[in-house]
């Protein structure tokens, strides 16, 4: 299975949200990274065939998804940023309802609902109304509904929004287990959501793909370009204005900066190994210092 994106462009008025994107995506976990406003949600909606491109196409094994209709939706699972729900429904009733909309038989729906509620850790809460759920619990229900039809393509838009650290770890573990025979596209601006589970990363900036590779290869492009530097608080503020600062850590009366320096290190800097956050900052950070 291969999802091919060719010259994909989408504009809203004078703003180009997705700008002539070309990608080939195969099964595994694809981390779609970019700051707010980079075009991630527009890209996701195009991949889900919810909006039409101004130019270009999305092809599944060579066939345009625009013309596949139910055949495409039958293999697609989608979690939007905000999950719509009826607050008076229980978690169990909600999933049974969504399963019916997706065409599952009553027996299939009951079995999948039980299995997925167990997977997302909500089986004991299955009779509880959604209106009483926390934001993190609702997000887990949303993940469960996206999996009801056992999709071959699973698209998740900011799936860890509202989750606490423990829930995020649970989510990452679950997604890693699901990706063995699926194409999972995980859109986020939080690097740690994908750093330990993604097989590939796509970075978007102003609607354009600025990096697409494995995490290791993307990190390696920053080799020799990341350093630490200990300076006074006043100097730290100056560096913050003129450099890509990945981290600021107090050390006594001074500040230790972690800097991404594509054009060379300042005097006194100590080279360090780059990580994915450094690469994200380099590819998607401030244009005035890149």
Q: Do residue 90 and residue 233 come from a single domain?
A: no
Tell me the mean pLDDT in the region 48-64. Answer: 96
Q: How far apart are CA 41 and CA 39, in angstroms?
A: 6
Q: What is the pLDDT of residue 174?
A: 81
Q: Do residue 189 and residue 257 come from a single domain?
A: no
Per-residue H/E/C for 88-128: CCEHHHHHHHHHHHCCCCHHHHHHHHHHHHHHCCCHHHCCC
Please write the tens of the pLDDT for every residue from 92-146: 999 999 999 998 999 999 999 999 999 888 999 999 999 999 888 888 899 899 9
Q: Do residue 73 and residue 170 come from a single domain?
A: yes
Q: Do residue 235 and residue 113 come from a single domain?
A: no
280 belongs to a structural domain: no
Please write the tens of the pLDDT for every residue from 181-196: 899 999 988 898 888 8
- Residue 161: band (very low, low, confident or very high) from pLDDT cuts 50, 70, 90: confident
Please write the tens of the pLDDT for every residue from 186-244: 998 889 888 888 999 999 999 999 999 999 999 999 999 999 999 999 999 999 999 99
In this structure, of 26-30, 65-69, 74-78, 170-174, the range with the lowest mean pLDDT score is 170-174
In this structure, of 121-125, 148-152, 165-169, 272-276, the range with the lowest mean pLDDT score is 165-169
120 belongs to a structural domain: yes
Residue 159: phi and psi, rounded to 5, are: -70, -20
Question: For residue 49, what is the domain's CATH number?
Answer: 3.40.50.300
Please name the residue ranges forming H helices in the chain.
40-47, 70-73, 91-101, 106-119, 135-146, 165-178, 192-195, 215-220, 233-242, 276-284
Q: Do residue 246 and residue 180 come from a single domain?
A: no
Which of 270, 263, 261, 264 lies closest to 231, judged by CA? 270
Cα distances (Å, whole numbers) of residue 24 to 11, 62, 156, 181, 203: 22, 11, 18, 17, 14
DSSP reduced 3-state for 2: coil
279 belongs to a structural domain: no
Q: How far apart are CA 103 and CA 134, in angstroms?
A: 29
Q: What is the pLDDT of residue 286?
A: 67
Res 1 pLDDT > 70: yes
Q: Do residue 180 and residue 236 come from a single domain?
A: no
Q: Which pTM does this prediction carry?
A: 0.89
Q: Do residue 205 and residue 268 come from a single domain?
A: no
Q: What is the pLDDT of residue 172?
A: 83
Name the residue with tokens 């590779």: 213
Cα distances (Å, whole numbers) of residue 12 to 15, 16, 46, 229, 255: 5, 6, 13, 43, 43
Q: Do residue 125 and residue 252 come from a single domain?
A: no
Q: What is the pLDDT of residue 289?
A: 56
Q: Do residue 252 and residue 161 come from a single domain?
A: no
Cα distances (Å, whole numbers) of residue 25 to 31, 80, 147, 181, 201: 11, 20, 20, 13, 10
Please write the tens of the pLDDT for every residue from 75-96: 999 999 888 888 999 999 999 9
Tell me the mean pLDDT in the region 255-275. Answer: 95
Show the domain range for 252.
224-272
Q: Do residue 118 and residue 158 come from a single domain?
A: yes
Count of domains forming the chain = 2
Q: Do residue 205 and residue 78 come from a single domain?
A: yes
């Amino acid at each position: 299975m291969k999802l091919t994106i060719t010259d994909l462009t989408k504009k809203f008025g004078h703003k180009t949200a997705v700008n002539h994107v070309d990608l080939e995506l195969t099964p595994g976990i694809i981390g779609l990274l970019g700051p707010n406003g980079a075009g991630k949600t527009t890209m996701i909606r195009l991949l889900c065939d919810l909006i039409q491109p101004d130019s270009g196409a999305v092809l599944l094994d060579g066939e345009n998804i625009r013309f596949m209709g139910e055949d495409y939706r039958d293999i697609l699972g989608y979690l939007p940023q905000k999950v719509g729900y009826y607050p008076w429904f229980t978690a169990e009733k909600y999933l049974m309802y969504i399963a019916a909309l997706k065409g599952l038989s009553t027996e299939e729906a009951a079995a999948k609902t039980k299995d997925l509620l167990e997977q997302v850790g909500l089986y004991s809460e299955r009779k509880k109304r959604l209106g009483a759920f926390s934001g993190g619990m609702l997000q887990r229900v949303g993940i469960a509904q996206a999996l009801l039809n056992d999709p071959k393509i699973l698209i998740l838009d900011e799936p860890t929004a509202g989750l606490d650290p423990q829930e995020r770890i649970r989510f990452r573990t679950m997604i890693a287990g699901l990706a063995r025979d699926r194409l999972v596209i995980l859109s986020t601006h939080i690097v740690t959501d994908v750093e330990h589970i993604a097989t590939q990363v796509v970075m978007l900036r102003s609607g354009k793909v600025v990096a697409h590779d494995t995490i290791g290869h993307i990190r390696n492009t920053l080799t020799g370009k990341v350093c630490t530097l200990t300076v006074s608080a006043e100097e730290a503020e100056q560096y913050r204005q003129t450099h890509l600062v990945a981290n600021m850590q107090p050390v006594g009366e001074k500040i230790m900066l972690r800097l991404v320096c594509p054009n060379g290190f300042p005097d006194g800097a100590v080279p360090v190994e780059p990580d994915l956050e450094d690469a994200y900052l380099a590819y998607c950070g401030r244009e005035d210092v890149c």
